[in-house]
Amino acid sequence: MLRSTLSNWREYLTPISHTSTFETSGQLTPEEFVKAGDYLVHMFPTWKWNGTDFQNVHHKDFLPSDKQFLVTKKVPCKLRANTFLELDDTETKDVGDGWALEEEQETGKEGASSKVADALEELHIVDDVDEDDDEEYDNELYENELADNDIVDIKPTTLRYYDLYITYSTSYRVPKMYLCGYDNDGTPLSPDQMFEDIAADYRSKTATIEPLPFFKGHNVSVSIHPCKHANVMKVLMEKVRSSRSRARSTVPQAADEDWEDLQSDVEDGLRVDQYLVVFLKFITSVTPGIEHDYTMEGW
């Protein structure tokens, strides 16, 4: 609670900067946060701005009244974070204060998916399978990811839902994530229960119990502390820049005209309006079981 109180005071006392340092620091101005939020809402319609519910929202005067925070609701979380074990061969890059960034994010996600079989005691797979094929089918579950057309019937005790909020942190000049969880019957999760959906490496270092700061009233949430978000974002932006550079080098010469359009987008690296898409990619390492959509082709 003390940590939450100090954080609130820091947010209140830190002056607002409108000078862009995005490319050098990984930080955002309020105007850049709004621009990135507009892009996220456009690309992923499950995300919304807070809108016109002005009576129940605390407003920051440096943000538009209808763009104080972003929200996506009822995001499923089928498995607890402990299910997603760290792969032994996953290389990580230390960015300080306990933050570790996977060098191959997609490899990490594959490893997480392959661990679904370890949770079969809590899952029931519904599919049309002949009795003679039962043994072969069971073996395949351990060797492959679940097919997209498999129907997974989650026991009520394992299925949860989360409302996710993103607001602007004035003290760190980056987005800040808040999570509010619910059981499958709509009962709010306790802080301890929500911590079960935070990866173990981050629970004690970066997750904090605090009320949602932008709502009037007391709405308990778990926040992801933004102290190292800027450093992590710089690393991720460099990875995106390198990936795009490799993609550019493989463009066929016959597509010169199309390539000129593409080059204008990638030659300067990640655009500031794409910031939150990369931010959400990073958040999945903190909340591996929460199934929000952040993927874009080639990322």
What are the DSSP E strand ranges found in 106-231?
123-126, 151-154, 160-169, 174-183, 207-211, 220-224
pLDDT for 155 beyond 70: no
pLDDT for 141 beyond 50: no
User: What is the per-residue pLDDT for 120?
Assistant: 32
The share of the chain scoring above pLDDT 90, in percent, equals: 41
User: What is the per-residue pLDDT for 156?
Assistant: 56
User: What is the per-residue pLDDT for 217?
Assistant: 80
pLDDT for 230 beyond 90: no
Higher pLDDT, 165 or 235: 165
User: What is the per-residue pLDDT for 216?
Assistant: 85
* Cα(171)–Cα(189) distance, integer angstroms: 28
Query: What average pLDDT score do residues 24-38 get?
Result: 96
pLDDT for 32 beyond 50: yes
User: What is the per-residue pLDDT for 152?
Assistant: 54
pLDDT for 79 beyond 70: yes
Mean pLDDT of the chain: 75
The pairing of strands 160-169 and 174-183 is: antiparallel
**Considering all CA atoms of the chain, what is the largest pairwise distance in Å, rounded to the nearest integer?**
69
User: What is the per-residue pLDDT for 258?
Assistant: 41
Reported as type and span, the H/E element at residue 71 is: strand 69-77
Query: What average pLDDT score do residues 108-125 get?
Result: 39
User: What is the per-residue pLDDT for 54?
Assistant: 78
The residue annotated as part of the active site, out of 227, 262, 266, 272, is: 227
User: What is the per-residue pLDDT for 123?
Assistant: 37
Query: What average pLDDT score do residues 242-270 get?
Result: 56
Walk me through the domains of the chain, giving residue ranges and CATH numbers.
2-77+159-232+273-283 (3.30.1460), 92-154 (no CATH)
- For every residue of 243-298, DSSP letters joined together read HHHHHHHTS-GGGHHHHHHHHHHHTT-S-GGGHHHHHHHHHTTTSTTB------TT
What's the pLDDT tens digit per position in 3-21? 555 555 565 567 899 999 9
pLDDT for 94 beyond 60: no
87: pLDDT confidence band, cut at 50, 70 and 90?
Answer: very low
Residue 227 bears catalytic tag: yes
Query: What average pLDDT score do residues 163-169 get?
Result: 97
pLDDT for 242 beyond 70: yes
pLDDT for 298 beyond 80: no
pLDDT for 41 beyond 90: yes
* CA R_g for the chain: 21
pLDDT for 104 beyond 60: no
80: pLDDT confidence band, cut at 50, 70 and 90?
Answer: very high
User: What is the per-residue pLDDT for 122?
Assistant: 39
pLDDT for 225 beyond 90: no
Backbone angles phi, psi at 113, to 5 degrees: -65, -40
Per the structure block, which two tokens stand in for 201? 């490496």
